Every structure is written in structure tokens, then in C-alpha cells.
């Protein structure tokens, strides 16, 4: 159990991205008067990540547009930001956050929102023009490399998930020659199932982007030869010559700094349904693994909406304490913009769910597909059908049957 937060208590938020910012904002919305200190390892003011693989990388937006608030709006929140400072340890008993440069920050309440870090390929750290895309600096570096090579750059994207797909689409739009390499037989099949994974893959193929599926990467080599600056060696013995490589093979929760703290760590920070991880400690965003009260399962979600919604609930619940807390049971939602298609989904699709296409067809055009698990509606996936998608949200929130969803599809 956690007691309500004292009005003058000091709250430390570790993580200056969306979840941490929303938690800090909610503390002020709940009229918390005590100090709120936000610690972030990046030197940049809080910014939005989705544009990194789309509008910012393409050059349609400038950096200022992706920041969550103007400097004046940030000042009005009355929050102390300590940017460019990395948390290195958590002393739960002593109620202190240790920083890498030696400082210790006392807290009464703590929000853990350090998110996740991009997975990397071993042995690629010293190879030029090999990028992950997780931070603003990643995006700016990748963008600079693409500009240096110019139109016709050979770009190999390792990983056919949503980030990889967005990067591939953006680079293609910039005139690059793009190849996606995916170890799974079908990109996205572990998330959307094989049929819908093929539908997403078709979006790339229809644009002339090459997709090498069912083969992993053995290693990358760097050469001074301009004909092959980076050699991507695949496990089938073939090789792809690349000017730029982007690695998009998922993320890992950033829990290293809290190992040994006494918190339960299992693919993230384990929380209850109210996002409490310990007395006076909540977690939110990519790092939180919590019990969903509606779906009756423990989950961790890496989507933008979960960071925004979860951060706000974490801040509110920290103020209220366990007795006054609101269980966090959102309808999961994610989207991905690729070429001219807006891919959107609500719910929790799974690779073994039955998929029924109720509008359109999985051929790259507008489409609505329902996911069935047992007799329940589990998720809805659409291509460029946002209004139809949201019509199913109340059904998912209510745990509706699949027959109810079919009835709605016919109306």
C-alpha cells in the first residue's frame, strides 16, 4: 500500500520523455505543490519520438516542431529539469536516486519512466553509417549521412517491424534504394499474424522496396571502397552493399540503473494494476510491466499512447496513494504511417488469433480486419480506415464478443 503524497513532498521523475513529462504535468494538475524534479539522460528538452522516423527524418519538420512544449510553457509548469544527467542507481530504502556524475537526489515519491533502449547488433559500434533510431541525435546523424550520400543511397534496414517499415518508407521517399532484411519468414507476423504481416509487406513491395525475409544477418563489415562502404553479410551467404544501414530490431527496457534496488524486474518494472512498483514508487511508459485489470494479464506496451496515458495515470495515482488510485486499463492503440497508408490497431492482436477481414482486402488498399480469440474480439487492424477503427473501441473496452463485432461491421 502507498499513502497519499504529502502536499509538499519532493517527487523525482527519472526519464524526460513522454511518460515522464505527462506524469510531471499530472502532478501539477492534481495541485501538488512540492518540488518536482525531472531527470533525463539526453540534453534535449522533452520531444516526441514518432516523427523521428517520419517527418523529421524526411525534412518535412524541423527540430523545434517535435518538442512537447515551448520554453515558456515548460517554465509555467514549475518543474525542475536536470537534463543530460543519467541515473545510475536507486536506493529505495534511503529514498535517493544516484546520478552517474556522483550527485544524489532525495525523493519522497518516485516516477520511473526511463523507457527502453534500441537493441544493437554486436560488433557494429565502430562501423560508420550504421544507426539505430531511438533518439533525436540518432535521427539527426542518420539524416546527415543520407544527405551526404545523396539521392540513390543504398539503404539496408535490418528489421521489418514498424520502426523499420517507417524508416524504409521515409528513405524511399527521399530517393534511396531500400532493402529490408527480416529474420522472420514474414515481417510483423509475431505481432499481427502471417496474413496481416504479408499485407504490410506488400506495401513495401508495391513501392519497389526490396524485402529479404526469412534470413538473418551474420555480420557487418566496413570498407574504404566507396562501392561497398558497409557490407551486410546474411546468414544464407549472400551480401548486400550499403551506403547506410539502419538497425531496427526492437528495444530493451532501460532497467540497468535499478538492478539490485529491490524492485521486481521482469522485462521491465513489475507493477500492480495502479502502476505502483513499491511504496511511493510508480512506473510508466515502455518500462512499466503491469497487470491490466480488464484483459486480466500482465503486459508491457511500447506505444506512444501508452506512454501518454500511463504517465498521466502514474502521476495521478502517486498523489492519491493506493486507496484512491485509479486502475490503469487502457484499450491499447498504435499506428504507423508508411507511404500513403495509415496502419492503425486497437487491442492486443496475436499471431495465433483468427483474422477476419470485414471491409476491403489485404492487398494494400483500405481495409478493416478483426482479430478473434475464443469467442471474444481481441483487436482490430485497419489500413487507412480511422473512423471505422474507433467505432470498435467501445466493444474492446467492454470485452465484447466477436459476434457483436461482426454485427457492428455489417451496420
Instruction: Note the pLDDT of residue 70.
Output: 74
d(CA 248, CA 229): 20
- Do 26 and 318 touch, CB atoms closer than 8 A? no
Residue 153: predicted pLDDT: 97
Task: Tell me the pLDDT tens digit for each residue of 250-263.
Answer: 999 999 999 999 99
Asked if residue 158 and residue 105 are part of one domain, the reply reads no
Radius of gyration of the chain (CA): 22
Q: Which whole number is the average pLDDT over 73-93?
A: 92
pLDDT band at 44 (very low <50, low <70, confident <90, very high): very high
pTM of the predicted model, to two decimals? 0.96
257 shares a domain with 108: yes
Between 406 and 73, name the one with better pLDDT.
406
Specify if 135 maps to a domain.
yes
Q: Which residues of 141-180 are buried (b: 16+ CB within 10 A; e: fewer)?
A: ebbebbeebeeebbbbbbbbbbbbbbbbbbbbbbebbbbb
Residues 99, 17 share a domain? yes
Question: Which of 225, 249, 273 marks a domain boundary?
Answer: 249
Domain boundary among 293, 324, 355: 324
69 and 126 share one domain: no
CATH code where residue 299 lies: 3.50.50.60
Answer with the one of 324, 356, 384 that is the final residue of a domain: 324
Query: What average pLDDT score do residues 356-367 get?
Result: 94
> In the predicted model, is pLDDT for residue 1 greater than 90?
no
Q: What is the dihedral of CA 380, 386, 388, 391, to 10 degrees?
A: 80
Instruction: Tell me, yes or no, whether 124 and 240 share the same domain.
Output: yes
162 part of a folded domain = yes
Which whole number is the average pLDDT over 295-300?
94
- Has residue 74 got a pLDDT over 90? no
Mean pLDDT score of the chain, rounded to an integer?
96
Residue 333 has pLDDT above 90, yes or no: yes
Q: List residues bridging with 356 in a β-sheet.
A: 370
Asked if residue 71 has pLDDT above 80, the reply is no
Domain identity same for 134 and 215: yes
Q: Are residues 126 and 139 located together in one domain of the fold?
A: yes
Q: Stretch 209-218: mean pLDDT, rounded? A: 98
- Does the residue 330 lie in any domain? no
> From CA 15, how far away is CA 290, in angstroms rounded?
18
- Model pLDDT for residues 119-132, shown as the tens digit of each residue: 999 999 899 999 99
Does residue 335 lie in a domain region? no
Asked whether residue 104 is assigned to any structural domain, the reply reads yes
Average the pLDDT over 343-357 and give the result.
97
CATH of the domain at 391: 3.30.390.30
Give residues with Cβ within 8 angstroms of 222, minimum separation 6: 126, 127, 128, 229, 230, 231
pLDDT of residue 228: 87
Any domain includes 146: yes
Q: Are residues 202 and 92 in the same domain?
A: no
Residue 84 scores a pLDDT above 80: yes
Q: Are residues 141 and 110 in the same domain?
A: no
Tens of pLDDT, residues 156-208 = 999 999 999 999 999 999 999 999 999 999 999 999 999 999 999 999 999 99
Give the pLDDT band of residue 73 (cuts 50, 70, 90): confident
Q: Whole-angstrom Cα distance, residue 21 to residue 32?
A: 15
Give the number of domains in the chain: 3
Shared-domain flag, residues 188 and 241? yes
Whether 334 is in a domain gets the answer: no
Work out the percent of the chain whose per-residue pLDDT is above 70: 100
Do residues 145 and 221 share a domain? yes
Q: How far apart are alpha carbons 324 and 316 in whole angstroms?
A: 9
CA distances to 166, 182, 283, 330, 336 from 408, in Å: 31, 36, 36, 21, 25
Q: Is 365 in contact with 383 (CB distance < 8 Å)?
A: yes
Tens of pLDDT, residue by residue over 12-33, are: 999 999 999 999 999 999 999 9
Rounded Cα–Cα distance for residues 36 and 282 (Å): 14
Clarify whether residues 63 and 206 are in a common domain.
no
Q: Cα separation of 348 and 295, whole Å? A: 9
Question: Above pLDDT 90, what percent of the chain?
Answer: 94
Domain that holds residue 391: 340-410
Look at residue 2 and tell me if it is in a domain: no
Amino acid at each position: 500500500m502507498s499513502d497519499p503524497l504529502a502536499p509538499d513532498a519532493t517527487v523525482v521523475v527519472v526519464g524526460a520523455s513522454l511518460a515522464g513529462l505527462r506524469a510531471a504535468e499530472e502532478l501539477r494538475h492534481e495541485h501538488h505543490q512540492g518540488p518536482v524534479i525531472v531527470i533525463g539522460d539526453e540534453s534535449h528538452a522533452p520531444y516526441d519520438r514518432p516523427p523521428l522516423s517520419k517527418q523529421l527524418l524526411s525534412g518535412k519538420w524541423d527540430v523545434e516542431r517535435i518538442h512537447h512544449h515551448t520554453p515558456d510553457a515548460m517554465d509555467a509548469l514549475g518543474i525542475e529539469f536536470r537534463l543530460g544527467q543519467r541515473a545510475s542507481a536507486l536506493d529505495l530504502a534511503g529514498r535517493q536516486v544516484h546520478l552517474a556524475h556522483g550527485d544524489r537526489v532525495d525523493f519522497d515519491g518516485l516516477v520511473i519512466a526511463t523507457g527502453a533502449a534500441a537493441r544493437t547488433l554486436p560488433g557494429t559500434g565502430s562501423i560508420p553509417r550504421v544507426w539505430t533510431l531511438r533518439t533525436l541525435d540518432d535521427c539527426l546523424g542518420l539524416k546527415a549521412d543520407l544527405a551526404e550520400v545523396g539521392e540513390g543511397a543504398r539503404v539496408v534496414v535490418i528489421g521489418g517491424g514498424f520502426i523499420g517499415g517507417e524508416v524504409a518508407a521515409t528513405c524511399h521517399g527521399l530517393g534511396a534504394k531500400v532493402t529490408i532484411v527480416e529474420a522472420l519468414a514474414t515481417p510483423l507476423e509475431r505481432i499481427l499474424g502471417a496474413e496481416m504481416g504479408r499485407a504490410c509487406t506488400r506495401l513495401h513491395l508495391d513501392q519497389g522496396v526490396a524485402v529479404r525475409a526469412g534470413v538473418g544477418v551474420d555480420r557487418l563489415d566496413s570498407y574504404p571502397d566507396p562501392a561497398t562502404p558497409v557490407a551486410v553479410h546474411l546468414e544464407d551467404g549472400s551480401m548486400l552493399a550499403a551506403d547506410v544501414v539502419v538497425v531496427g530490431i526492437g528495444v530493451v527496457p532501460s532497467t540497468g540503473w535499478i538492478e539490485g534496488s529491490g524492485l521486481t524486474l521482469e522485462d521491465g518494472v513489475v507493477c500492480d494494476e495502479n502502476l505502483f512498483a513499491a511504496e511511493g514508487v510508480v512506473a510508466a511508459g515502455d518500462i512499466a510491466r503491469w497487470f491490466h485489470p480488464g484483459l486480466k494479464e500482465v503486459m508491457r506496451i511500447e506505444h506512444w499512447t501508452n506512454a501518454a496515458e500511463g504517465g498521466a495515470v502514474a502521476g495521478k495515482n502517486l498523489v492519491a496513494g493506493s486507496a484512491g488510485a485509479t486502475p490503469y486499463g487502457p484499450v491499447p492503440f498504435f499506428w504507423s504511417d508508411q507511404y500513403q497508408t495509415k496502419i492503425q490497431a486497437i487491442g492486443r492482436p496475436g499471431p495465433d488469433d483468427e483474422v477476419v477481414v470485414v471491409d476491403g482486402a489485404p492487398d494494400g488498399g483500405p481495409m478493416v480486419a478483426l482479430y478473434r480469440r475464443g469467442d471474444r474480439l481481441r483487436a482490430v487492424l485497419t489500413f487507412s480506415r480511422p473512423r471505422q477503427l474507433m467505432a470498435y473501441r467501445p466493444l474492446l473496452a467492454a470485452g465484447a464478443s466477436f459476434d457483436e463485432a461482426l454485427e457492428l461491421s455489417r451496420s
